[in-house]
Amino acid sequence: MPTDIMMPALSPTMEKGTLAKWLVGVGDRVKAGDLIAEIETDKATMEFEAVDEGVVAELVIAEGSEDVPVGAVIARVADEGEAPPEAKPQAEAPKAQPEAAPAPVPEPVKAAAPPAPAREVPHARLADKVKISPLAARIAAVRGIEVAGLKGTGPGGRIVKADLGLTDTRAPVALTATAPATAPVAEILPPPEGVPHRATKLPGMRKTIARRLTLSKQTVPHFYLSVHCNLDPLLKLRATLNGDLAASGVKLSVNDLLIKALAAALTEVPAANVQFGGDTLFEFDRVDVSMAVAIPGGLVTPVLRDVGSKSVSRIAGESKAIAGKARDGKLTPEDYQGGTVSISNLGMFGISEMLPVINPPQAMILGVAAGEQRPWVVDGAVVPATVMTATASFDHRAIDGAIGAEVLAAFRALIESPIKIIA
């Protein structure tokens, strides 16, 4: 009997996705771990791996189909030699516009004839050696977990995430648990009458950003603190370090040093490296920085792990690599899940000051503006200086004003005495 392949949930927030591209066709033979499709989520485009072995009997959802619900049947795999079933239309999927009304999922792609001789599809890494789910395989690869000796508790003895022995207690708490029972719904008004305009359908990423940031402003009590920092010492140190690192091909950006300074400040003031969890406060023992990266259609926040323990040159390499993955749409869930604090830098656009919105469930985000020439008082004398304004938004449920002031004071001290960042 054919096995249904469902639209997977490739991230905790994913409710539906776009089936961007099929990597297999009817009649192809696949094995567990083979790449079979590219799926666009609210964060990135990711490759989807087969879980079962067999021959592709039917592609139920056509490539390019949008808003396919998680759990919907997208394809069917049959045993070798088994006749393909008659294709059946799937249940209707919700329309993107308006949000409340349903619309049919695109017509299925039918297998018009018995499958041709199966052709091999390239194998993925772990699935060649052990029986493991795609999610567990990705987590094991990222965290360096040896899976050969593990006993699987999934279907047919397959190794699943729960079998990896993870003890990470810093998983985000669902913000909806603390949200009011009935949140106000903003009225969506039509455009002004008579004004020429275009109506562009929002992509999934833009809709997710709108939903999450609306929830953040409605449920998280923000307060804001700002500091003005003399950036000249940091710029001088950066020039010196880049001269020393020139032979290695590493080039430090101002943002790399700011990320390191933020981690050092939170290490100095750990009471700000926290997360609100209802009747619990999560206090973190390391700093994982979510770095805002602008990409076509929205913003993503890939995570740099354990920044406090890393050199600025390593941070530079990792930030460049992960920003490149973000712009290429190649982030995996492990790249953007988690994070204990966020940083958003708009200095390259000449912005003088910004008040960022908290990235739930985190309790702090630092917004960085441009370095500008301003008068600065040194020993009673006014001198020109490159001054940067940094504004942090805090979740007042988890962080009080005094703690927020302490962490920003520590951040400013590190910017103005940057040798402490690399010491």
Instruction: Catalogue the active-site residues.
Output: 396
Non-local CB neighbours of 98 within 8 Å, separated by 6+ positions: 188
Are 108 and 58 a contacting pair, CB within 8 Å?
Answer: yes
Euclidean distance between CA atoms 342 and 402, whole angstroms: 20
Length of the chain: 423
- For the chain, the first-to-last Cα distance in angstroms comes to 64
Please report the sign of the dihedral spanned by the C-alpha atoms of residue 311, residue 312, residue 317, residue 322. Answer: positive
Are 368 and 390 a contacting pair, CB within 8 Å?
Answer: yes
Euclidean distance between CA atoms 202 and 204, whole angstroms: 7
Rg (CA), the chain: 25
For 58-92, give the DSSP string.
EE-S-TTEEEEETT-EEEEEE-TTPPPPPP-PPPP
